[in-house]
Amino acid sequence: MKRSFHSLWGRALVLLVLAVPVGWAGAAAPPAESKAQRFTLANGMTLIVKPDRRAPTVAHMLWVRVGAMDEVDGTSGVAHALEHMMFKGTPDMKPGEFSRQVAALGGRENAFTSRDATAYHQQVPASRLEAMMQLEADRFARNQWADDEFVREIEVIKEERRQRTEESPRARMFEALNAMVFQASPYRRPVVGWMSDLEAMTPQDVRDFYQRWYTPSNAAVVIAGDVDALQVHAMAERIYGRIPARAVPPRKPREEPAQAGPRRLDYRAAADQALVALSFKVPRWSGGEDAASQDALALTVLSAVLDGYSGARLERSLVQGTGRGGKRIADSASASYGLMGRGPQLFMLVAVPAQGVSANTAAAALRTEVTRIAREGISEAELQRVKTQWMAGEIYKLDSVFNQAQELGSYWVQGMDVDTGERLMSRLRQVSAAQVQAVAQRYFSDEQLSTAVLVPDPSRREAAPPATPRPALSRH
């Protein structure tokens, strides 16, 4: 699966701008002429170019606005399966040849699938960009493979599910929580797919998904690095622009119904420690000036105040035991918020109870920290620390052309403009302490709460099965 982003790219964006120490003095900001530019090719494909002349390298990404949320019941995991099969050839290229040719160009490559999108990325010397474009355009337009290639690869995908989900009690619990939180939204399905769907999947299921969604007007090429935007535009028009245009199929709305009270899941498994996760339905950021988007920005700050830096509130109060109760509650505690996505977003609070502490006590402690902010607010010092780290993070991310390309592609998936990153940071800096207190008061009632508790149950420990060869997980 390369890297399967289980709708965490929004959290990754927030973590990227929060993870840099205060006062870090990274590379200087690029000049104004390196602003990102967006073009539309003759066939409807989007091209986004972000010049960065500091090193003779370039990140090349192909984004397709299709992910697990576009699947239908019975074929969960097909978007991710197609990502694997995109490395299996074209009429002129044998399975695995794509990766070999990228390596021959002096590059490295990978791909990932999320709920919202599928992305293929490479980093190559700037002088080899045209050759890289030709390789990617060929497989986007002419992906082709034999049935026996799929039969082998689906076993790799099933093994991936076993190792990353089924053999991890925590992963299984979060999967079950997700399916409980969302009832109508396609976000309820795992990106990798349910095992029964993988076992029933056919080569034609994957080919049909490819034919339906891999069309130029549903894709974007994002280039960041040592390039000239107009030259890249001409190159892309010549290489990608000749792919025949097709209409993007209509997408039916699948809105999540309003939750009308708390939900709870006790997930019993052969785990060593308990774990508690509290999930609240909250608004997402749409990029606009509406009230929901303003609340989304404040929720981002709230998440950072709780768990955005070393020694933040959750760590101090629950893990270090320096809160008002003076008792160590958890071995770890975290807060996360997706911020944006094509589907509904969640604010999550998670804790691993310390020895002798019940899951209910840990859950109550998590909620207490939010309640305290709702009652007392946050200090200006906390607010400024978060904003200072965001500014440092804005500098930090410029050191990676891949990070720049990934951010631009992520915004495109959401239907946003190339200046979204700048606008987002500007608006986050304007969030006040009063707004953070207001969202803490508004969104954390039982009405929108779903709780999952991982309950250690030794009786569910199974005897180790006889050792048999298992498919090796590969990058593709």
Which active-site residues does the annotation give?
A: 83
C-alpha 294/C-alpha 180 separation (Å) is: 27
User: Among the residues of 72-202, which ranges form H helices?
Assistant: 78-85, 97-104, 129-142, 147-161, 169-181, 195-200
Please name the residue that has the structure tokens 């990934």. Answer: 406
Element (H, E) at 18: helix 9-18
Q: What angle do CA 106, 108, 114 make, to 5 degrees?
A: 160
Q: Given the DSSP bridges, would you call strands 219-225 and 57-64 parallel, antiparallel or unpaired?
A: antiparallel
Judge whether 219 and 64 are in contact, CB under 8 Å.
yes
Partnered with residue 122 across adjacent β-strands are 60, 109
Torsion angle of C-alpha atoms 79, 84, 85, 88, degrees rounded to 10 = 160
Judge whether 219 and 45 are in contact, CB under 8 Å.
yes
Judge whether 393 and 429 are in contact, CB under 8 Å.
no
Write the CB contacts of 388 (distance below 8 Å, at least 6 apart in sequence).
22, 23
C-alpha 292/C-alpha 290 separation (Å) is: 6
Q: What angle do CA 235, 114, 159 make, to 5 degrees?
A: 115
Task: Kindly state the tokens that stand for 72.
Answer: 């239908």
Taking alpha carbons only, the member of 108, 120, 121, 128 closest to residue 56 is 128
Element (H, E) at 122: strand 118-125
Task: Quickly list DSSP for 329-365.
Answer: -EEEEEEEE----SS-EEEEEEEEEPTT--HHHHHHH
Judge whether 448 and 281 are in contact, CB under 8 Å.
yes
Contacts of the segment 283-290: beta carbons below 8 A, 24+ positions apart? 283/345, 284/338, 284/339, 284/340, 284/341, 284/344, 284/345, 285/339, 285/340, 285/424, 286/340, 287/340, 287/414, 287/416, 287/417, 287/420, 287/423, 287/424
**380-397 and 291-307 helices, crossing angle to 10°:** 90
